[in-house]
Chain A
Amino acid sequence: MDLSQVYREHYRSLVRFLYRRIGDQARAEDLAQEAFVRALEHKPDKPRAWLFTVAANLARDEGRRASVRRRHLTLIKAEAEARPPEPGPEVALERRETVRRVRAALERLADRDREALLLWEEGFSYDEIAEVLGLSRGSIGTTLARARTRLAAALDSVEREGSDEDVAH
């Protein structure tokens, strides 16, 4: 497949995958472009799977940096502000809080579970997820089941923690 075509079709998907993974849109775009630059050098046979594999590795490296984590928290705060104007301040506040909680819940997942979930949401098949993550195809259903269950549980936990903080204040 022509890489320029892959770029046109999947660049935004790759940016979204990275953005959900690291929470910094500018950085997500940098890493997505980096993945395509590397693809030009390596000319992979299966460019889409290859690109997301590289992107997942780049995101993991990014996640290991403490400075990124600090910036991450700041950006979570600013994330809702960058979005299109909301109907009203209360709705905007609620949405911002939802984003924060979802991201916090997502952060509590194991890397493999989180990436499987994000790849599925980007339209990857079980075969492709297995290829990117180096897992057997038969384990992907179980991985996704665990990821979804833990995400929901983590979100409930984050919301409870938020309620406790509100009560404490």
Chain B
Amino acid sequence: MSHIDEGTLHAYLDGEVSERQRIDVEDHLAVCAECQAKLDVARALTGRAADLLSELEPGPVQAPSWREIEERAAARRRAAPRRIRLRPGVAWAASIALAFAIGWAARSYWFAVPPLDIASRERAVGALEADRQETPERRQGRGAEPAEPQPASQIARDLRLTEAEESPAQTPLPTTRTAEGETQVAGQVPVTDEMPPAAEREDRFAEANARKRKGEPAEEPSPEEAPAAVAAIEVAGVEREERLADAPADQTAARGVQPPRALAQPTVAAGAAPEGQFVPVQPEEAQVWMGAELRTLPDLHLKRVEVGPGAAVEHAESRLPAIRLLYEDAAGHEIVLIQQWLGNLRADLDQLEPALIVEPSTARAYRWLDGEGYLLILYGDVSGDSLRALADRVR
């Protein structure tokens, strides 16, 4: 038999070997002086360790009652939140559901965060409106059905119009086409062939006006028969005609005239902000809506052209459409040019002096009336001097 290892010797001394091991160890020790010596050393070490540790005796120990221990345990149970033990499968499912819920909530939160400035708010409104306008249902019914009621105009808020006046008759302009992506326009937008001559416009205004007075329903042209753009300008014309002069009542057979409900609303007093919504259109369509060439800002990147009710713009003619051109300068600032061709109505606004409007949010707007009857409003997150400089470049 080989020599006995120290572990076995200590186990033998501690009485922790089996009977068979004990006999083997004792048989070996009887014939092996070396292992006998090691056993003596192990015995001495064991005794010494025990003696040393006996030096580390605590003082008198006063054990608290068992009831006290139980009360502590009960108090801890009451204070600790109840644990729900789930089976692994359920726990995994719960974890996945929780992660999904957190992700969804975070998404909802970020989408619900209100915009902090005019530019971002209007970008959001524009993007949402573009998405909504491009749904298949709306594409199919484009130009044939009125748009749904819209929320308060953002531009009206931006331009610091105060009390909002609910206008049930207010309906957004019929959607004619939706801009797909960004549109680049350099310089002036040429007058298109779709724009009817002024005399024809006046005739249509008169026809629509007469029909309305008689209480006859307006003909609802199919989109193929009457492009919405044409109908729209006639609607605008009807309102203009009502203010300028009475048209002959015997003119009939209006072509492509829609009921004047789109922009038929009372004149909005200064400071009021009716419901309204700008929708994206092509520049050529916007030109038809306005009834005149667009005023533009050369050398700036035109991102989008929108049309909306003039009632949404302070000091604009509420019954005429307003056009909004959204530009981006080299520094990434969004510059917005709102315009409305007032034509002969400008006499009513002769008192409108060029003015720089500074919003509490530090956004600035510059408003003026040019010599050709255009009401122009320029605003963006740039300085007032920059706005004035840009205004000089409007053509």
Q: CB within 8 Å of B: which residues of A?
A: 4, 7-8, 11-12, 15-16, 19-20, 25, 28-29, 33, 36-37, 40-41, 82-83, 95, 98-99, 102-103, 105-106, 117-118, 120-121, 125-126, 138-149, 151-152, 155
Bound: A143/B8 CA distance, A = 11
CA distance A13 to B72 in the complex (A): 21
Chain B: minimal CB distance from A72 (Å): 13
In the complex, what residues of B have CB within 8 A of residue A20's CB?
Answer: 53, 56
Residues of B within 8 A of A121 (CB): 49-50, 53
A51 CB → nearest B CB, Å: 12
Neighbour of B45 across the interface among A37, A83, A143, A152, CB < 8 A: A152
- Closest chain-A Cβ to B168's Cβ sits at a distance in Å of 68
- Say yes or no: B56 contacts A102, CB within 8 Å: yes
Question: In chain A, what residue has the closest Cβ to B49?
Answer: A148
Q: Is B73 an interface residue (CB 8 A)?
A: yes
Which residue of chain A lies nearest to B72 when distances are taken between CB atoms in the complex? A37
> Are B46's CB and A140's CB within 8 A?
no
Contact of A151 among B6, B14, B52, B57 (CB under 8 A): B52
- Of the candidates B5, B16, B48, B69, the one whose C-beta lies within 8 Å of that of A148 is B48
Asked whether A102 lies within 8 Å of B50 as measured between CB atoms, the reply is no
A19 touches B56 (CB 8 A): yes
Which residue of B is nearest A36, CB measured?
B69
Given contacts A37-B72, A99-B55, A146-B6, 19 further A-B contacts (CB under 8 A): A7-B63, A7-B66, A37-B76, A40-B70, A99-B56, A105-B52, A121-B53, A126-B14, A141-B10, A141-B11, A142-B6, A144-B10, A145-B42, A147-B49, A148-B10, A148-B45, A151-B48, A152-B49, A155-B52
Q: How many residues of B contact A (CB 8 A)?
A: 32
The verdict on B9 contacting chain A, using a C-beta distance below 8 Å, is: yes
Task: Supply 25 A–B pairs (Cβ within 8 Å), ascending by A.
Answer: A7-B63, A7-B66, A12-B63, A16-B57, A25-B58, A25-B59, A33-B64, A33-B69, A33-B72, A83-B59, A99-B55, A99-B56, A103-B56, A120-B14, A125-B16, A140-B11, A141-B14, A142-B5, A145-B42, A146-B6, A147-B49, A148-B42, A149-B6, A151-B49, A152-B49
Q: Does B7 contact A (CB under 8 A)?
A: yes
Q: How far is the CA of A8 from the CA of B61 in the complex (A)?
A: 12
